[in-house]
Structure 1
Amino acid sequence: MTTSKLTAAGLALALSTAGAFADVESSDPIKLTTHDWTGQIITTTLMGEVLKKAGYNVEYVQADYIAQFAGLKTGDLHVAMEIWETTGKEAMDEAIGTGNVVSAGPTGMKAIEEWWYPAYMEERCPGLPDWEALNACASEFATAETAPMGRYLGGPVTWGGFDEERVEALEMDFEVVHAGTDAALFAELEAAYQRQDPIVLWIYSPHWAPSKYKGSFVEFPAYSAECYADASVGINPDAAYDCGKPRGEIFKVAWSGVADKWPGASEAINDFHITSDEMGAMVGAVDLDGKTVDAVVAEWMASNESTWQGWIN
């Protein structure tokens, strides 16, 4: 486009864009990954909108939770805002071990991901929450597609979690059936809860579900890193994953080049911190109250300006 053909509106846009990136190290887009659950999309959008306030160019890229590490290693993707120690630790540690991915520290949220059942099932399956009691009454959780085996409703396949491996290692009479999406998982819980139907499924926190529904997490043999890595450790000497899921932090990770290319953004990402209660409330506002992610993020930013301003100043 020649100068003579640049319209007044186009010139204003060009000047505005130039101004937006004047104080940042690079106008290239910082690519933040989004996944298939509401909380992660909120976390990522919140970080992205804060970076935009600082003048950075931000791009949101849909990516699989575990498969994203390939792009983070090469620099085709730049930042992942939620790696749960419960399900993503092995992939995260491997990626960091290459030197191409770095930890940006914990988000402040605490992760729980485990099998969960509604409280009304305790009358039908005495001995809960013990996993052996659950297995003894597996038929109570059977469906037409799994009978006589019980059905465990897992999260989407992309979430990982080693549920099939655990069922095999503990010789449980359950079949793992994966929900197609986060929304489908909780829609099925809502339907079962309303009808008081049998169900055991993947529930995670921070999330609104453990507050809305009365129930408990199943108690499996205690997790250890050795249980996952060494078949000889645990109650089944011939199989790994014969224990519960880990609990712990939710981390941020980044392509190692982010700190060199966008040092200010890197510091802001490192400083990002939010609590599980804050996130649970925001997820509930989207999933239960019907608000948009953008609206919920905007409300949080309006109410917490001093917090996020501290990340970018």
Structure 2
Amino acid sequence: MRKFYLIVFTSMLLLLTACSSGASKDSIKVIKFADAGWDSIRIHNSIAQFIIEEGYGYDTDVTVGTTAATLQALEQGDINVYMELWTDNIKEVYEKAIEKGSIIKAATNFNDNAQGLYVPTYVIEGDKKRGIEPVAPDLKTVEDLAKYPELFKDPEDPSKGRIIGAPSSWVVSEHLETKIKTYGLDESYNYLAPGSDSAIVASLAGAYKKGEPWVGYYWSPTWVTAGYDLTLLEDHPYDEAVWEENKGTEFPPNDVVVAVHKDFPTQAKDVYEFLKNYKTSNELTEEALNFMEENEAEADEAAKWWMKEHEDIWTGWVPEDVAEKVKKALN
């Protein structure tokens, strides 16, 4: 039953779907993963699912929903595993869940990621090969955007610039809106929260192809930050008190963790031991994302390619007998 996707409409729906997994506090038949809507989590899901299905013999499913809905489902046990939980984007909720013991951090997937407001590097440095002159050579920080609203003109309101934000359903969108107000950029810019990640990419790709100025939110690891020459605008050094007050610093260091429901270590002890060893990096994740984009591949195809390329890494996460089963299934 690989990758049977269930759309999350309400937490009640998630509760009902959990009943079909045959889960109890001591056993589980189907291991359910969270898909909160971006490609890297889908790749990590696919890597883990392939190992779990072929190496450990469990069935797996994926439940799709917003970060808030899927995290709530993880707390309730309607989802068992969250392969890419960006802890500081949802710091308060995550820490409360950890404190009350409803979820458990199994491992840090990666912690060398970045996020914030990006511009194409040609905006600052130009691009001689493409005949593009630098139009904002002094643009270095988020606050510097105040000097250049006319460069990033909002086509629907030419009196202001436009900053492309995160999708409105993502918690980080609220952080960005607060940051923009803190720096007074709302006086000269409109903030646009697109409906999806793909809408951000379409906006960036359209501007990049024409060599036009663009400013907006993105993060790494993604094929976008690996494939386009982008510059992350600098911000004030992270300070927890300032961040909590008004988001007037760079984004906090963001441990991206593998988290599981509190009952999972006893429901599937062998898989939990595997997940405790799961560790990648920004670069390793972007390799799979690049393959996915360049080959118009699905996440499970990219996962298999990545596993063939990095056998030395994933075989270190599992016992030798499990690794042999998985290698046999890959070939």
Q: TM-score, normalised by structure 1?
A: 0.83
The worse-fitting range, judged by mean Cα deviation, of 300-309 and 148-157 is: 300-309
Answer yes or no: is the 8 Å Cα contact 2:27–2:266 preserved in 1.
no
- Counterpart residue number, 1:72: 74
**In structure 2, what is the equivalent of residue 125 of structure 1?**
136
Residue of structure 2 equivalent to 1:140: 151
1:300 alignment counterpart: 306
How has the CA–CA distance of structure 1 residues 303 and 285 changed in structure 2, closer, same or farther, with 3 Å as cutoff? Answer: closer
Task: Indicate whether 1:166 and 2:167 are aligned.
Answer: no
- Distance in 2, matches of 1:115 and 1:312, equals 38
Equivalent residue for 2:35? Answer: 34
Q: Give the root-mean-square deviation of aligned CA atoms.
A: 1.9
- 1:192-228 per-position Cα deviation (integer Å, ceiling 9, x unaligned): 0111122101121112223322231111222222113
- Matched residue SS, 2:205: helix
SS of residue paired to 2:279: coil
Q: Which residue of 1 aligns with 2:44?
A: 43
Q: Which amino acid aligns with 1:152?
A: I
Cα distance in 2 for partners of 1:203, 1:144 equals 21
Counterpart position of 2:103: 101
Q: CA deviation at 1:85?
A: 4.0
Structure 1 range deviating more: 192-201 or 66-75: 66-75
CA distance in structure 2 between the partners assigned to 1:308 and 1:281 by the alignment: 15
For each residue in 1:219-252, what CA deviation from the matched residue of structure 2 results, as whole angstroms up to 9, or x when unmatched? 12222221132x3xxxxxxxx2122212332111
Equivalent residue of 2:92, what SS? helix
1:242-281 maps to which residues of 2 (within 5 A)?
242-281=248-287
Matched, 1:201 2:216: yes
CA shift at 1:89, angstroms?
3.0
- In the TM superposition, residue 165 of structure 1 has moved relative to its aligned partner by 0.9
Alpha-carbon distance between aligned partners in 1 of 2:83 and 2:298, rounded to the nearest angstrom: 19
CA distance in structure 1 between the partners assigned to 2:64 and 2:289 by the alignment: 19
Aligned length: 280
What is the DSSP-based 3-state SS (H/G/I as helix, E as strand, rest coil) of the residue aligned with 2:265? helix
Equivalent position SS for 1:157:
coil
Q: Aligned AA for 1:212?
A: G
The verdict on how the C-alpha distance between 1:222 and 1:179 changes in structure 2, with shifts beyond 3 A counting, is: same
Once residues 219 and 190 of structure 2 are traced to their aligned partners in structure 1, the CA distance between those partners, rounded to angstroms, is 20
Alpha-carbon distance in structure 1 between the residues aligned to 2:123 and 2:265: 50
The whole-number CA distance in structure 2 between the counterparts of 1:159 and 1:124 is 31
In 2 relative to 1, CA 57–131 (structure 1 residues): closer, same or farther, beyond 3 Å?
same
Q: TM-score, normalised by structure 2?
A: 0.79
Unaligned 5+ runs, structure 2: 1-25, 125-133, 320-331
**Cα distance change, pair 214–190 in 1 and its aligned pair in 2 (3 A):** same
Measured in 2, the distance between the counterparts of 1:221 and 1:79 equals 34
* Alpha-carbon distance change, 146 to 66 in structure 1, aligned in 2, over 3 angstroms: farther
Aligned to 1:220: 235
Amino acid at match of 2:262: S
| The structure with more radius of gyration | 1
**Among the aligned pairs, what percent are the same residue?**
21
Q: 1:295 to 1:168 in 2, by over 3 A?
A: same
Distance change >3 Å, CA 114–CA 195, structure 1 → 2:
same
